[in-house]
Amino acid sequence: MKNTGKLLSLLMLGLTMFGSISCTNDDEDDDDDIIVTPVGEMKTVTGKITANTTWSASNQYLLSGFVYVESGVTLNIEPGTIIKGDGVQKGSLIILPGAKIVAVGTPDKPIIFTSNKPAGQRKAGDWGGLIILGKAPVNKPDAVIEGENQSKFGGTDAADNSGQLKYVRIEFAGIAYETDKEINGLTFGGVGSGTEVDYVQVSYSGDDSYEWFGGAVNAKHLIAYRGLDDDFDTDNGFSGNIQYGFILRDPAVADQAGDSNGFESDNDGTGTGAMPQTSAKFANVTIAMADGTPNAKFASAMRIRRNSAISVYNTLVTGEWPRSAVRIQDETTIANFTTGKIKMDGNTVAITGTPKEGVIEGTTLALFAPAASKNKVAAVADLKLATGYNSITAKPGLLPTTGSALLTGGATLPAGFEANTVVGAFGATDWTDKWANWDPQNANYEIQK
């Protein structure tokens, strides 16, 4: 009995020490994380997350209705975790201003937000989407996020930190809550530059793939794959830098409620001079459309309007965009271009078909492509693109072949970007390797026990 007593004492001591270790938290908020015990099951998440929480890759998580991460709270998501959205309840994850999401996957274990439907039955708009809100400046007073239509965002802290997204896939999101009130695949509202966004793929979104409402967040290595509406939509004073983006459209799928563009950019809904002005910078983006007759609701690869002043560098446009390749719309926005507020350097436009408004719309080819700008209008056949560069039936051929002018033909990029003279999203490195998925419809997302 004596030995048994000693063993029990040692066991109790060990448990006490384990409990002390598990409650230790180095988070700057000094709050204890809530660790979800891995039991290999689907955990339904509803309502508000009010304490630091970790979602484990050993479980899956079902978003039911609007799920809010409250201010002061951090949601940690382990590499390889799968989060599904309940379509009936229109599940969505909303990171409120002052909250953080830390979703850092790896190339081998990306974090996946996806449909709750089985393989073969998934479609765009199966669930809501991921919304991140912060305290960075926006040009709309009392801004309320589109789609959810309740939560306010924005403030005065351009360097606000809403956490990290890295090696993350978001699939089959973009549900309509009401007419013209859809949630995008990934929405940013007033998100600050302290937030890290790198290696994110949004596939089959039922609205825009990405939309930025104000804020100053930067991002790299973004994929917009076979979305419905616009791919990169910028509004309300967004001023971040986006580098390395790959947009690939299905020509049969466009937004029947409006029109679909690669880029769509406004200063605000009516084109006022509200400040801060939308002035984001994009570099090394490829905007491509797969082969086939485009849906009548497609418009332009780039639509810049309503007093936007975004700039675009070293970007490649291909595909049969039926209206135009680059459309600079309305007098105020055209003035932004002619006075140099909108900069376009190092871009190559090589579209197929005959766009009804011309390759360049709203300005002239001479103004778009003076020699100093290194902008070019070319033929696809001359670019030495890889076989299947715009395939939607298999992984696209991403890397230009040896001798392609795209590998060295770009302009010198402004400060804030990684230096290169590559035109388009890819040079010699396939940064989509391992973590991206070109066939999420047939992926096996069943719980592995």
Quote the tokens at residue 375.
């902008």
Nearest-angstrom CA–CA distance, 411 and 41:
51
Tell me the mean pLDDT in the region 209-214: 98
What's residue 26's pLDDT? 37
Q: Which pLDDT score is estimated for 100?
A: 99
CB 56 within 8 A of CB 74: no
Indicate if the pLDDT at residue 7 is higher than 80: no
pTM to 2 decimal places: 0.91
What CA–CA distance (Å, rounded) separates 211 from 188?
Answer: 6
Predicted pLDDT of residue 448: 76
Higher pLDDT, 325 or 36: 325
Mean pLDDT calculated for residue range 356-365 = 97
| Both structure tokens of 79 | 């590499």
Range of lowest pLDDT (23-32, 182-191, 260-269): 23-32
Average pLDDT over residues 327-356: 97
The 3-class secondary structure across the chain, one letter per residue, is CHHHHHHHHHHHHHHHHHHHHHCCCCCCCCCCCEECCCCCCEEEECCEECCCEEECCCCEEEECCEEEECCCCEEEECCCCEEEECCCCCCEEEECCCCEEEEECCCCCCEEEEECCCCCCCCCCCCCCEEEECCCCCCCCCCECCCCCCCECCCCCCCCCCEEEEEEEEECCCCEEECCEECCCEEEECCCCCCEEEEEEEECCCCCCEEEECCCCCEEEEEEECCCCCCEEEECCCCCEEEEEEEEECCCCCCCCCCECCEEECCCCCCCCCCCCCCCEEEEEEEEECCCCCCCCECEEEEECCCCCCEEECCEEEECCCCEEEEECCHHHHHHHHCCCCCEECCEEEECCCCCCCCEECCCHHHHCCHHHCCEECCHHHCCCCCCCCCCCCCCCCCCCCCCHHHCCCCCCCCCCCCCCCCCCCCCCCCCCCCCCCCHHHCCCCCCC
Contact 83, 140 (CB under 8 A): no
Contact in structure between 54 and 25 (CB atoms under 8 Å): no
In sequence order, the 6+-apart residues with CB closer than 8 A to the CB of 225 are 201, 202, 203, 204, 209, 246, 248, 438
Residue 318's pLDDT band (cuts 50, 70, 90): very high
Question: Looking at residue 332, what is its pLDDT?
Answer: 98
The answer, yes or no, to whether residue 334 has pLDDT greater than 80, is yes
pLDDT band at residue 21, thresholds of 50, 70 and 90? very low
Q: How confident is the model at residue 178 (pLDDT cuts 50, 70, 90)?
A: confident
- Closest residue by Cα to residue 420 from 243, 287, 263, 302: 243
Averaged pLDDT, 192-214: 98
Cα angle value 156/97/147 (rounded, 5°): 110
Q: How confident is the model at residue 267 (pLDDT cuts 50, 70, 90)?
A: very high
d(CA 199, CA 398): 16
pLDDT reading at 38 higher than 70? no
Q: What is the mean pLDDT of residues 351-372?
A: 96
User: Which tokens sit at 286?
Assistant: 């490829």
Tell me the C-alpha distance between 94 and 191, whole Å.
Answer: 13
How far apart (Å, rounded) are the C-alpha atoms in residues 401 and 171? 30
Average pLDDT on 245-258 reads 96
**Single-letter amino acid, residue 47:** G
High-pLDDT (> 70) share of the chain, %: 91
**Whole-number Å distance between alpha carbons of 407 and 424:** 9
Q: Is the pLDDT of residue 163 over 90?
A: yes
What is the per-residue burial (b if ≥16 Cβ within 10 Å, else e) of 246-277? bbbbbbebbbeeebbbbbbbbbbeebeebebb
pLDDT of residue 333: 98
Residue 76 pLDDT exceeds 80: yes
Distance CA 241, CA 263 (A): 14
Average pLDDT over residues 429-437: 98
Q: How confident is the model at residue 28 (pLDDT cuts 50, 70, 90)?
A: very low
| pLDDT at 449 (0 to 100) | 66
Q: pLDDT for 368-412, tens place per residue?
A: 999 999 999 999 999 999 999 999 999 999 999 999 999 999 999
Predicted local confidence at residue 250, as pLDDT: 98
pLDDT value, residue 40: 84
Mean pLDDT of the chain: 92
Q: What is the pLDDT of residue 18?
A: 35
pLDDT at 16: 37
Residue whose tokens read 């382990």: 78
* Confidence band of 305 (pLDDT split at 50, 70, 90): very high
pLDDT tier at 214, thresholds 50, 70, 90: very high
pLDDT-derived band at 33 (thresholds 50, 70, 90) equals very low
Residue written as token pair 């996946």: 112
Kind of pairing, strands 348-351 and 34-35?
Answer: unpaired
- Residue 218: both structure tokens together: 């930067």
CA distance 384 to 406: 8
**pLDDT given for residue 394 in this prediction:** 97
- For 187, phi then psi, to 5°, come to -115, 135
Taking alpha carbons only, the member of 239, 327, 320 closest to residue 287 is 320
Confidence (pLDDT) at 340: 97
Contact 436, 201 (CB under 8 A): yes
